[in-house]
Structure 1
Amino acid sequence: MSVLLQVQGLTKSFGGNRAVDDVGFELKAGELLALIGPNGAGKSTTFNMVNGQLRADAGSIRLEGQELTGLAPRRIWRLGVGRTFQIAETFGSMTVIQNVQLALLSADRKVFSFWRSAADHRRDDALALLAQVGMVPQADRPCSVLAYGDIKRVELAIALANQPKLLLMDEPTAGMAPKERNELMALTKQLVKDRGLGVLFTEHSMDVVFAYADRLIVLARGKLIAEGPPLLIRDHPKVQEVYFGTGKTFEKKAVAEEIVR
């Protein structure tokens, strides 16, 4: 697999606090990479710098060799980076398909016209995106009546509207029941396989991380302390230390089981 995203020397400070300190990693096409760490580790700051919502103090972020550092989020989106958010947001008064059509309008750099209904814009393409996330039967329902798990599916269809090479998912399963979490991540895994996407996601649910990520990168106090496949990270002594401390009450087996849960 070819390298899709390359991050080098990423650094960000807020006042005297260095939230991200010389972080670097790579993400390949067709790979799910989980970014994890305890609270205050620098996950959100790193994530938002990749997306352009925060400007890095130093470092480089390249998508297929093209520098993203310093670009606005809308420009990064148009270069092929999709994103979902921890708290899913859709236009509740609009139908499912209309929400996706709005994203397609933006991808096409078009605006509403008094002479042509936005409801006519690429309806077949919007339905195709909804088919990929299993939402065609609810295409004409307003988003305000959907279950939260279905809202997350609509958000995923919206994120795919610009045919992204890279998909950023911020806490994709937050607020979801276990069954919904597994369904969404299994769907994401299938999309990665079908489209050859690269996915970078943050997640607090360790069951989701260890079940679906191909690789993990772990941050603690702004520094990258470990990276590798799930089994390696599960047994990594530094990872166990930052999550659970160094007390002797934690046996290795018990710690490993706790991380998997």
Structure 2
Amino acid sequence: MSLLNVTHLGKSFGGNRAVDGVSFSVAKGELLALIGPNGAGKSTTFNMVNGQLKADTGSIQLEGQELIGRKPRDIWRLGVGRTFQIAETFGSLTVVENVQMALLSSDGLLFSMWRRAAAHKRDEALALLAQVGMAAQADRPCSVLAYGDVKRVELAIAMANRPKLLLMDEPTAGMAPKERNELMALTKQLVIERGIAVLFTEHSMDVVFAYADRMIVLARGRLIAEGKPAEIRDHPKVQEVYFGTGKTFEKKATGAMA
């Protein structure tokens, strides 16, 4: 059964139709990759699901609840977590305090200034950090972490509201190949264990083909293909529109795709 249902989604900027009648769904326990060339409408679609942009037409429903018209913080409280292309953490706070801030927000206590983050659900924050392999660095400032570790902290923050749906915008951007695979393998593990649905955008095709259960491809604001990675790899329209002439997805020796 689908957790997220997007139907006939549309968005225009002036005379430019950035997203034109896009429909797709995401099921519990599924990683759905949203890909396409520059200007395809990926970011616009992604930001409408998150509430950062309001759709002109269509519907976005999470377990039957309409998300269009809701603010991002209200969508977050309905069970939609998000990570960003550029990791967003408080560098002056420790790793565990960053997660505790997210827990404060989830509990509706973020603006109760008399509460110190360090006193709020430290054990729960440590448990989240343990899930992403960061418990040992809990009391270090985020500002001194390697970038791959900051991405792990961001994932723990995104999990603080026990999301049903996790939105990941370019989750492996700026990461080395080993770090990319470790982060996505961790995400896949959390998806399986918790039955979370994940919608992610990604430019690294090795990541997409290695970890996505299904893929949707946009071009010029329209959905041109949808299916499992093997189907998308061999899809003639994807080869033509997404890559242009002369380029194809090729299997590497490791079994990943290029």
Equivalent position of 2:149 in the other structure:
150
SS in 1 for 2:60: strand
**Kept after mapping to 2: 8 A contact 1:133/1:157:** yes
Report the Cα offset of residue 89 of structure 1.
Answer: 1.3
Q: Which runs of 5+ in 2 are unaligned?
A: none
The answer to whether 1:139 aligns with 2:138 is yes
Report the Cα offset of residue 244 of structure 1.
Answer: 2.9
The answer to whether 1:99 aligns with 2:92 is no
- Kindly provide the amino acid, as one letter, of the partner of residue 260 in structure 1: M
Distance (Å, rounded) in 2 between the aligned partners of 1:171 and 1:88: 10
Alignment of structure 1 residues 168-179 onto 2, 5 Å: 168-179=167-178
**Kept after mapping to 1: 8 A contact 2:89/2:154:** yes
Equivalent position of 1:36 in the other structure:
35
**Kept after mapping to 1: 8 A contact 2:219/2:241:** yes
Equivalent position of 1:257 in the other structure:
250
- Name the % identity: 79
Distance (Å, rounded) in 2 between the aligned partners of 1:101 and 1:240: 45
Report the Cα offset of residue 156 of structure 1.
Answer: 0.3
Alignment of structure 1 residues 1-261 onto 2, 5 Å: 2-111=1-110, 116-246=115-245, 250=246, 255-257=248-250, 260-261=257-258
SS in 2 for 1:244: coil
Report the Cα offset of residue 114 of structure 1.
Answer: 6.0
Query: Number of residues paired by the alignment?
Result: 254
**Kept after mapping to 1: 8 A contact 2:219/2:242:** no
Report the Cα offset of residue 115 of structure 1.
Answer: 5.0
SS in 2 for 1:124: helix
Report the Cα offset of residue 111 of structure 1.
Answer: 3.3
Report the Cα offset of residue 242 of structure 1.
Answer: 1.0
Report the Cα offset of residue 255 of structure 1.
Answer: 1.5
The structure-2 alpha-carbon separation of the partners of 1:116 and 1:58, relative to structure 1 and needing over 3 Å to count, comes to: closer
The structure-2 alpha-carbon separation of the partners of 1:197 and 1:68, relative to structure 1 and needing over 3 Å to count, comes to: same
Distance (Å, rounded) in 1 between the aligned partners of 2:55 and 2:114: 43
User: Residue by residue, what CA displacement relative to the aligned partner does 1:222-244 show, whole Å, maximum 9, x if unpaired?
Assistant: 00000000000000000000133
Supply the RMSD in Å over aligned alpha carbons.
1.3
SS in 1 for 2:173: coil
The TM-score with structure 1 as length reference comes to 0.95
Q: Which moved more, 1:54-63 or 1:111-120?
A: 111-120
Q: Which runs of 5+ in 1 are unaligned?
A: none
- Kindly provide the amino acid, as one letter, of the partner of residue 161 in structure 1: A
**Kept after mapping to 1: 8 A contact 2:101/2:110:** no
